[in-house]
Amino acid sequence: MSDFEQQLMAWQTKVDKLLSKRPERKDQFATISGLPVDRLYLPQEPGEEYAGKLGLPGEYPYTRGVQPNMYRGRLWTMRQYAGFATAAESNQRYRYLLDQGTTGLSVAFDLPTQIGYDADHKLAQGEVGKVGVSISSLKDMEALFDQIPLDKVSTSMTINAPAAILLAMYIAVGAQQGVSPEQLRGTIQNDILKEYSSRGTYIFPPKPSMRVITNIFAYCAESVPQWNTISISGYHIREAGSTAVQEVAFTLANGMAYVKAAMDAGLDVDQFAPRLSFFFNAHSDFLEEVAKYRAARRLWARIMKERFGASNPKSLMVRFHTQTAGCSLTAQQPKNNIVRVAFQAMSAVLGGTQSLHTNSMDEALALPTQEAVTIALRTQQIIGYESGVTDTVDPLAGAYYIEHLTDEIEKRAEEYISKIDEMGGAVEAVEQGYVQREIQDAAYEYQKAIETGARVVVGVNKFATAKESPGDILRVDPKVRIEQMEALAALKAERDNAAVEKNLAALKQAAAGEDNLMPHFLSCVQSYATLGEICDTLRGVFGEYQAPTTI
């Protein structure tokens, strides 16, 4: 028996065992015309090249996916990013989404929250509740998850610079509901390196930021074991204008910097790496996108195994969330965006995503309306329940073009990673502005291609029509800030201010030393110290990041 035949037998045993515990969605899968559909299709004679480059799903190098039966077992998590105005209003939207069949929450925070300012800060003027929910203290977090049982949902929080503090608030809300940290499931984005290069919501300089991130890794490995401690994000790199190759390269390079920082801090790679997760963009070049996810999985598995010596299979896997490309949406003929989003979402599914957000058609105009959000969710449900692509694993494997693109993206991403290695790693590459310049150059090339007509955007530079009158858009009432300011004033009057001062002083001392800061964040938020107070304390110790000029 060949090596591969032995692997296949072992794989089959594993699948049988898995199915006895968790049966698939159906006993038998068939096409719409009744043709039977198998779990896995292989080349007629799988050779060494096949085994090395593609292998079996759920097995190294994970090109074909991270689970042996992928969506036959369970569909991806349909996770719609939402949040606006006050915690109470966002809570309403979450409960609506849960009622409509969404299976995980995804919290959008407003910019002051993301940058560690309370709603009453001067720089928060005009921003409170605009791009997400305003959270200034544990009080707001309690309202945000009111009547949502935290042991039943998984919650993704798009929060980076102050991620540790928001996680501490989530743990505290769980405690109030009687849910222990071990039961909490979810993700914090916590990916500061792409904030410096692409997204812009940084607070502190890289060194102390990396320290807080490793504090989170260590704390969660011990106390919040089901929590995804980071979502290493290519999404925003791509939104900022990168190519697919750059998205893979810069994301994995950032991932490598986190792994290295944690190992340098003395953590065991197989203890924290299983909780690393990723976040990619689904852009418009359908087959390139499918190949991109496959290439990222294969390349990361090899890096973790060969460079960092990880051996736990979970340390080697790219488990990822996908969001369709906001930057591909057009303000012109906005209903066309429904079609763009559907193709992009399909590419993420054919690429094996673990969770997915589909954008709403009106996002180039304003925050999405409820109707637009519902269509976006229905798009995922149609792919999941009607299209049939979920009935067999990695259905495009073996297509000449897909495998060529997968190889090519992997190779070119590796070349970028070597360049970044030569600079000393992702932190240095960002500090020097290299990553930013690569991305902005690609963005400008893309724009020029649209303007010369070399790249067609339907409804924009071809097939344009006279202006349609825009439909309904969602607005955030400016009085949200006033309400938040009043609530903050009331909070500061009623809380135990001596306890707040004591906890903030202890945090300050710990930040100047080397202790893990997570227990301090927890005691600060539980005494209702505000996000702004906690971040100001850290600003006093860590300083603030000054971005390099790249243009």
Partner 1 sequence: MRKIRVLAAKPGLDGHDRGVKVIAAALRDAGMEVIYTGLRQTPEQIVATAIQEDVDVIALSILSGAHDYLFPEVMKMVKDKGLDDEVLVLGGGVIPESDVAAMKEAGVADIFGPGTPTAKIVEYIEANVKQRD
In the complex, the residues that contact partner 1 under the rule CB under 8 A are 111-112, 114-115, 117, 123-127, 130-131, 195, 199-201, 239-241, 327, 329-332, 364-367, 440, 443-444, 447, 450-451, 457, 460-461, 470, 473, 476, 478, 547, 549, 551
Q: How near is the Cβ of 456 to partner 1 at its closest, in Å? A: 13
Partner residues linked to 82 by β-bridges: 107
Q: How near is the Cβ of 378 to partner 1 at its closest, in Å? A: 24
Separation of alpha carbons 530 and 492, rounded Å: 9
User: Is the separation of the CB atoms in 196 and 545 below 8 Å?
Assistant: yes
Q: How near is the Cβ of 242 to partner 1 at its closest, in Å? A: 10
Residue type, 506: A
Question: Is 339 or 505 the residue whose CB approaches partner 1 more closely?
Answer: 339
Question: Is 30 or 547 the residue whose CB approaches partner 1 more closely?
Answer: 547
Question: Is 269 or 531 the residue whose CB approaches partner 1 more closely?
Answer: 531
Question: Measuring CA to CA, which residue among 106, 59, 49, 528 is closest to residue 359?
Answer: 106
Q: How near is the Cβ of 311 to partner 1 at its closest, in Å? A: 38
Question: Is 175 or 449 the residue whose CB approaches partner 1 more closely?
Answer: 449
Question: With DSSP H G I counted as helix, E B as strand and the rest as coil, what are the percentages for the chain, rounded to 5?
Answer: 55, 10, 40
Task: Label residues 146-174 b or e (16+ Cβ within 10 Å = b).
Answer: eebebeebbbbbbbbbbbbbbbbbbbbbb
Q: How near is the Cβ of 166 to partner 1 at its closest, in Å? A: 17
Question: Is 32 or 551 the residue whose CB approaches partner 1 more closely?
Answer: 551
Q: How near is the Cβ of 451 to partner 1 at its closest, in Å? A: 5
Question: Is 47 or 470 the residue whose CB approaches partner 1 more closely?
Answer: 470
Please give the order of strands across the beta sheet that includes 77-82. Answer: 227-228, 185-188, 154-158, 104-108, 77-82, 355-357, 320-324, 276-282, 230-233
Separation of alpha carbons 185 and 174, rounded Å: 11
Question: Is 51 or 327 the residue whose CB approaches partner 1 more closely?
Answer: 327
Task: Label residues 433-443 b or e (16+ Cβ within 10 Å = b).
Answer: bbbbebbbebb
Separation of alpha carbons 98 and 131, rounded Å: 21
